[in-house]
C-alpha cells in the first residue's frame, strides 16, 4: 500500500482544525461556566449575608425587647401605683440581662407646653423616681414629644372599636406597642400612662430608658458583629452602625469605616425602620436584586421592629457592611471569577501545548516514516543496478560467452567497479548509522587542504571521466592547515563532488575552490566550495536537503538515483570537525556547497 502525502496533509489539517474548534469551544464554555459559577457564588454570598443581617437584627431586637417587656408597667395602671413595680421589674431585668449596664438611666418625664418640663429619675436602690432638673442627656426630647401627633396607628380598627384616638395609640394589645426609639440620645421612649384622662389633665407622662452608648459601642454591637459576620479569619465584613442627628458612627469594626457615607456597601439595613404603612401587607419585606449580575448586594427592608413604629427614618440607625477582602463583595466575586478563569485557561493552554506537540510529533513521525520508506526504495534501486550488471556478467562467463583472456579481464574490471559501488553504498549507510549513534571516532590532525582536495578528485576521477566533466580547480596559495580527520573530510567532499556530478549533468562542469578568510571573531575560516552548473535546488527544498533521507521532489521525478543520506552525512562530519556547511543555489543554474573548516576548531560532541 502506498502512502499518499497529500492525503496525510489533509488529514492532519482536518485534525488541527477540529482540535482548534474543540479548544475554542472549551474556552467559551469555560468562560460561561465560570461566569455562571461565580454569579451563583455571588448570589449565595449575598443570600447568606442577608440572612446574617436578619439574624443580627433579630438578636438586637431581643436585647432591646427584653427591656421593653420588663418595663411594661404603667400601660393601664394608675400613674402612682406603677412606680414601685416598675422599679422592681427593672431590678429583675438587671439580674437576668446579658448586658445589664445597657440601660444607664430610667426617667419619667412630663413635657410641658408652658413652664418647665419635669423629669424624675429612677433610683433603683430606693425604688422611687426622684425629681431632677431636666437632664442634658435628654436634650430637646420634651419639645419633640410635645410635637408628636397622637394619631391612631390604624384608623380602620380604631373606627371599628370606637376607641378614642389617643387611647388607642398607647394601649393596643402588645405591651411593646408604643415604644419609640430616639436615635440621638439614644433612648427607648413610651407613654407611662395611656389613659386619655392623664393626657388631658397633666399632659402625657413618658418613660424614657436611656441606653449606655459605651455598652452599645464596646459590648453589644461588637458581640453581634462577631456572632453574625465572623469568618474563618476574623470578620468577613467591615461592620458599622451609623445614624442619629448629626450623623455619627455608633459602632464600627474598623476605625474609619462608616465615618463617611459608604459607597458601594454590600449590605444596608435600616435598623429601626419606618412607620408601618397602611398599604403594606406584610411586616417583612426583603429586597435582593439577584437579577443584577454585576452587583451582588444584600438589602433587608424589615418592618418588624415594634419599638419604633413612629420613628423618623432620616436619623434612623443603619447597619452598613462591606466585604473585607477586595473592598467589596462584587470585587471579591470578580476575583473568584478571575482566579477561576486563570486556572481553567492555564489548564486549557497546557492542553493546547500538549495537543500541538502531539500534532507536531505525529506530523514529524509521519514524514520520517515516509522518508525512510523512500530511503528503502532508493537503496533497493541503488543495489539493483550493480547487482544486475554483476549478474549478467556472471551469466555470460558461465555460458562461455567470454572467450578470450582480454574479455575476461574486462568482465573482471566491470564486476570490480560494481562491487566497489556496492561497497561504497554499504559503507556510507553504515557510516551514517554509526554517526547517528555517536559511535564514530575521529583522529584530528593538521591537514593540507590542497592534498585532501586532490585525493578526492583522484578517488572520484573515474566518475568525472565517465561523466565527461570539466573540472576547475582553484586553490589559494599558502592556505593554512586545518585541524580535522582526513578520512572524514575526504568522505564529506566526496559526497559533495558525487552530487555535483549527479545533478550537474547539464553543463558537465565541476568547480572546486579553496580559500581562507579571517572571520569577525578573528578565526581563520578555510572555505572549500564545490560548485556545479546543473539543475539547482528549489528554495523550498534548501531547508530540508541536509535532513536524513530527504530527496527533492524534482530529482525523484527525474529518476536520479540517490539515498538522501549524503548531505546529512556531510553536515554531521562538518559539525564534528567544528565547522559547518552551507549552500547557495539557483534552480536551473546550479549549486555551490561550501564547507567551512577552522585552523583551531571547537569540535562538537
Q: Which residues bind ligand ADP (CB under 6 A)?
A: 495, 499-500, 503, 532, 534-537, 545, 550-552, 555, 562-568, 591
Q: Helix, strand or coil for residue 444?
A: coil
Least distance in Å: CB of 509 to ligand ADP? 12
Least distance in Å: CB of 427 to ligand ADP? 14
Least distance in Å: CB of 360 to ligand ADP? 23
Q: Which is nearer to ligand ADP, 120 or 367 (CB)?
A: 367
Q: Which is nearer to ligand ADP, 101 or 474 (CB)?
A: 474
Least distance in Å: CB of 536 to ligand ADP? 6
Q: Is-cis flag, bond preceding 246, omega within 30?
A: yes
The CA-based angle 316-319-325, given to 5 degrees, is 155
Q: Rounded CA gap, 323 and 308, in Å?
A: 29
Least distance in Å: CB of 598 to ligand ADP? 24
CB atoms within 10 A of CB 548: 19
CA neighbor of 500 nearest in space, from 528, 479, 481: 528
Partners of 287 in beta bridges: 299
Q: Which is nearer to ligand ADP, 528 or 537 (CB)?
A: 537
Q: Nearest 5°: phi and psi at 202?
A: -120, 10
Least distance in Å: CB of 586 to ligand ADP? 11
CA 121 vs CA 89, 93, 131, 598: distances in Å:
15, 17, 6, 112
Least distance in Å: CB of 590 to ligand ADP? 7
Q: Rounded CA gap, 376 and 100, in Å?
A: 101
The secondary element (H helix, E strand) that includes residue 554 is helix 553-557
Least distance in Å: CB of 11 to ligand ADP? 26
The three-state DSSP-derived secondary structure of 46-63 is HHHHHHHHHHHHHHHHHH
Q: Which is nearer to ligand ADP, 108 or 535 (CB)?
A: 535
Q: Which is nearer to ligand ADP, 182 or 532 (CB)?
A: 532
The three-state DSSP-derived secondary structure of 197-266 is HHHHHHCCCEEEEEECHHHHHHHHHHHHHHHHHEECCEECEEEEEEECCCCEEEEECCCCCCCCCCCCCC
Q: Which is nearer to ligand ADP, 306 or 566 (CB)?
A: 566
Q: Which is nearer to ligand ADP, 300 or 492 (CB)?
A: 492
Partners of 109 in beta bridges: 119, 206
Q: Which is nearer to ligand ADP, 177 or 596 (CB)?
A: 596
Q: Which is nearer to ligand ADP, 224 or 371 (CB)?
A: 371
**List of E strands, 225-379:** 230-231, 234-235, 237-243, 248-252, 267-270, 284-287, 298-302, 318-323
CA 510 vs CA 255, 448, 533, 583: distances in Å:
92, 21, 8, 15
Q: Which is nearer to ligand ADP, 551 or 596 (CB)?
A: 551
CA 145 vs CA 8, 119, 603: distances in Å:
94, 13, 105
Amino acid at each position: 500500500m502506498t502512502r499518499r502525502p497529500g492525503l496525510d496533509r489533509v488529514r492532519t489539517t482536518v485534525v488541527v482544525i477540529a482540535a482548534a474548534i474543540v479548544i475554542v469551544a472549551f474556552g467559551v464554555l469555560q468562560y460561561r461556566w465560570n461566569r455562571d459559577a461565580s454569579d451563583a457564588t455571588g448570589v449565595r454570598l449575598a443570600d447568606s449575608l442577608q440572612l446574617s443581617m436578619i439574624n443580627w437584627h433579630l438578636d438586637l431586637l431581643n436585647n432591646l425587647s427584653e427591656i421593653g417587656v420588663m418595663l411594661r408597667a404603667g400601660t393601664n395602671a394608675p400613674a402612682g401605683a406603677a412606680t414601685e413595680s416598675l422599679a422592681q421589674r427593672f431590678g429583675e431585668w438587671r439580674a437576668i440581662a446579658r448586658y445589664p449596664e445597657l440601660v444607664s438611666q430610667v426617667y419619667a418625664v412630663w413635657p410641658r407646653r408652658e413652664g418647665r418640663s419635669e423629669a424624675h429619675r429612677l433610683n433603683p436602690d430606693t425604688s422611687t423616681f426622684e425629681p431632677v432638673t431636666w437632664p442634658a442627656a435628654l436634650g430637646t426630647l420634651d419639645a419633640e414629644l410635645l410635637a408628636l401627633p397622637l394619631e391612631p396607628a390604624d384608623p380602620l380598627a380604631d373606627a371599628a372599636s370606637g376607641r378614642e384616638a389617643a387611647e388607642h395609640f398607647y394601649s393596643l394589645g402588645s405591651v411593646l406597642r408604643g415604644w419609640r426609639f430616639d436615635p440621638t440620645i439614644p433612648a427607648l421612649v413610651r407613654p407611662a400612662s395611656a389613659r386619655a384622662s392623664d393626657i388631658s389633665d397633666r399632659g402625657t407622662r413618658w418613660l424614657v430608658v436611656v441606653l449606655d452608648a459605651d455598652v452599645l459601642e464596646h459590648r453589644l454591637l461588637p458581640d453581634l458583629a462577631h456572632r453574625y459576620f465572623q469568618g474563618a479569619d476574623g470578620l468577613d465584613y467591615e461592620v458599622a452602625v451609623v445614624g442619629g442627628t448629626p450623623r455619627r458612627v455608633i459602632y464600627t469594626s474598623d476605625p474609619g469605616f462608616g465615618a463617611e457615607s459608604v459607597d458601594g456597601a454590600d449590605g444596608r439595613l435600616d435598623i429601626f425602620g419606618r412607620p408601618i404603612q397602611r398599604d403594606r401587607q406584610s411586616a417583612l419585606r426583603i429586597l435582593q436584586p439577584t437579577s443584577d449580575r454585576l452587583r451582588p448586594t444584600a438589602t433587608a427592608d424589615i418592618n418588624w421592629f415594634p419599638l419604633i413604629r413612629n420613628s423618623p427614618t432620616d436619623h434612623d440607625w443603619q447597619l452598613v457592611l462591606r466585604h473585607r477582602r477586595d473592598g467589596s463583595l462584587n470585587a471579591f466575586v470578580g476575583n473568584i471569577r478571575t482566579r477561576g478563569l486563570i486556572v481553567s485557561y492555564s489548564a486549557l493552554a497546557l492542553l493546547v501545548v500538549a495537543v500541538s506537540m502531539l500534532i507536531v510529533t505525529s506530523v514529524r513521525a509521519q514524514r520520517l516514516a515516509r522518508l525512510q520508506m523512500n530511503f528503502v526504495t532508493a537503496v533497493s534501486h541503488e543495489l539493483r543496478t550493480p547487482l544486475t550488471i554483476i549478474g549478467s556478467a556472471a551469466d555470460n562467463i558461465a555460458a562461455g560467452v567470454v572467450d578470450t583472456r582480454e574479455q575476461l579481464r574486462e568482465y573482471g574490471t566491470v564486476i570490480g567497479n560494481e562491487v566497489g559501488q556496492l561497497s561504497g553504498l554499504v559503507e556510507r549507510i553504515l557510516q551514517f548509522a554509526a554517526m547517528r549513534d555517536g559511535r564514530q571516532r575521529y583522529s584530528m590532525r593538521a591537514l593540507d587542504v590542497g592534498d585532501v582536495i586532490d585525493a578526492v578528485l583522484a578517488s572520484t576521477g573515474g566518475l568525472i571521466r565517465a561523466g565527461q566533466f570539466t573540472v576547475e580547480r582553484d586553490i589559494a596559495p599558502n592556505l593554512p592547515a586545518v585541524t580535522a580527520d582526513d578520512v572524514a573530510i575526504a568522505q564529506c567532499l566526496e559526497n559533495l563532488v558525487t552530487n555535483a556530478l549527479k545533478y550537474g549533468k547539464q553543463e558537465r562542469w565541476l568547480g572546486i575552490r579553496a580559500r581562507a578568510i579571517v572571520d569577525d571573531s578573528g578565526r581563520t575560516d578555510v572555505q572549500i566550495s564545490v560548485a556545479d552548473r546543473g539543475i539547482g535546488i528549489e528554495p523550498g527544498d534548501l531547508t530540508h536537503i541536509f535532513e536524513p533521507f530527504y530527496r527533492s521532489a524534482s530529482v525523484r521525478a527525474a529518476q536520479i538515483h540517490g539515498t538522501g543520506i549524503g548531505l546529512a552525512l556531510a553536515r554531521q562530519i562538518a559539525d564534528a570537525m567544528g565547522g559547518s556547511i552551507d549552500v547557495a543555489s539557483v534552480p536551473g543554474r546550479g549549486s555551490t556547497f561550501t564547507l567551512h573548516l577552522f585552523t583551531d576548531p571547537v569540535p562538537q560532541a
